[in-house]
Structure 1
């Protein structure tokens, strides 16, 4: 199950401009590192599992994802790592991506999304604000790499997000980010409230109390999962 294939962690980092929040995801794909790198950095392949992208995907180049973030490629070390600004809605955050051959086979992809987020907004939506989005991105990449390059239609992907299956995925993702947030030290009640609000933001409604979601984990169990 895709939702179980992702490792999630909430961290903090000190930047020159002050404290920043870090949402981290990682997943192993059954594909060689060169193929995963190309899928993530080739402008012809990215739209097959995510969104159309324009610009120059090279060191110092600027990119723009259609209807989403844009930015500047700040570091690039093929096929191992790249970093870029992630600019959206007048705000700037950063992504760091690195790949490594997994000892058990395949390629491990790690992503850290770093942002300055004020306490009010963090308390309102928590890590799921970007975490659910990254879960959906990894799901698209996993499906693409496992089906010999089968492309997805962004419009169909949006419709799926609002479908019953998509709502279940968002609920499960939100719950996993709640667990990661508690493991990072967030008060459980605050983490639950943020999880409920971010689910509503993604789906336009409150979670179904009868809907099956992953079992509640203690912070120690969540930390072990990381």
Structure 2
């Protein structure tokens, strides 16, 4: 699969840039980007609102909509809009979408689409999504189209197999932006991760120390220390059990070794320990995770070593990122697989 786009860090969020050439003039492409009847055939049904516009995406029963307003409009050259997606019971944070049109030779034009301030972890979905949507636009403009493409954008992939392949590649590309450092120490592997989170330090600390939050990104809470109701915050010396009681060996016993309010949490991890430090910044909260050296272990029929440990923590911090954004975790196993591809290649 060849990706047309690139992902980049944008503070605690991400930017997505996708390019595609079309057999059209700037005027023809501009019409497809701005005329309601044209938009309905490749991205969504447009309607004006008191504050700007709304795009209804998908079929008649779909709840996926985008609300936005036009910030900059330079006909046949540049369009900049705000973009806020709502769908599947989730409301994403406001973002910005920019379309730039440039001539690309006789009878051809280049469209560069840049989506800024996209929430972390969701950037891969946007990368694959825009790549797919621009394929629908290609059909609208009369370009060559695959047999799988629809006559209009119905909220389904123009080519489902291509979309899934692109999504996996974009996930690995995003994982590489915030990859961990792995260190080999004799028979043990240590992991270091830094992640800038789009949330204040108080919210991050809650996610690290309150049972209803811990169970939604780390592991399900099996037993919380001295608190059958599972309500109180962690304290130094606490011992908790997390995992899945229905699976042999899937429950971890963790002891809190050190705790400094809103700043540091250290707990046991097998025969080693993990430290998490928080630093408030102007853009959010910097989380620094250090896993002490852990021995390679056999599991699921193979040796598990540094790439497995790094991918595991990477996935968990992805889940924490989504929790802090108010979004659900999409296919956690695929997050691990995307990260593992990055670490196993080192």
> What's the TM-score once normalised by structure 2's chain length?
0.44
Question: Which consecutive residues of structure 1, in runs of 5 or more, have no partner in the other structure?
Answer: 195-199, 208-215, 218-226
Match of 1:100 in 2: 102
Matched residue of 2:94: which SS?
Answer: strand
Mapping for residues 115-154 of structure 1, pairs under 5 Å: 115=117, 117=119, 122=120, 125-146=121-142, 152-154=151-153
Contact 1:93 1:116 in 2 (8 A): yes
Q: Tell whether 2:13 aligns with 1:47.
A: no
1:22-42 Cα deviation digits (max 9, x unpaired): 011011111111101110111
Match of 1:38 in 2: 31
Mapping for residues 7-46 of structure 1, pairs under 5 Å: 7-13=4-10, 19-46=12-39
Contact 2:19 2:111 in 1 (8 A): yes
How many Å separate the matches in 1 of 2:177 and 2:332?
27
Bigger proportion of residues as strand? 2
Contact 1:71 1:85 in 2 (8 A): yes
How many Å separate the matches in 2 of 1:130 and 1:136?
10
Q: In the superposition, relative to structure 1, how do residues 54 and 23 fare at CA in structure 2: closer, same or farther (>3 Å)?
A: same
How many Å separate the matches in 1 of 2:37 and 2:45?
8
Structure 1, 175-184 or 38-47: larger mean CA deviation: 175-184
Matched residue of 1:45: which SS?
Answer: helix
CA RMSD in angstroms, aligned pairs only: 3.7
Question: Which consecutive residues of structure 2, in runs of 5 or more, have no partner in the other structure?
Answer: 57-63, 86-90, 181-306, 319-328, 335-340
- Residue correspondences, number: 181
Flag the structure with more relative contact order, 1 or 2, with Cα contacts below 8 A and sequence separation at least 6: 1
Matched residue of 2:24: which SS?
Answer: coil
Bigger proportion of residues as helix? 1
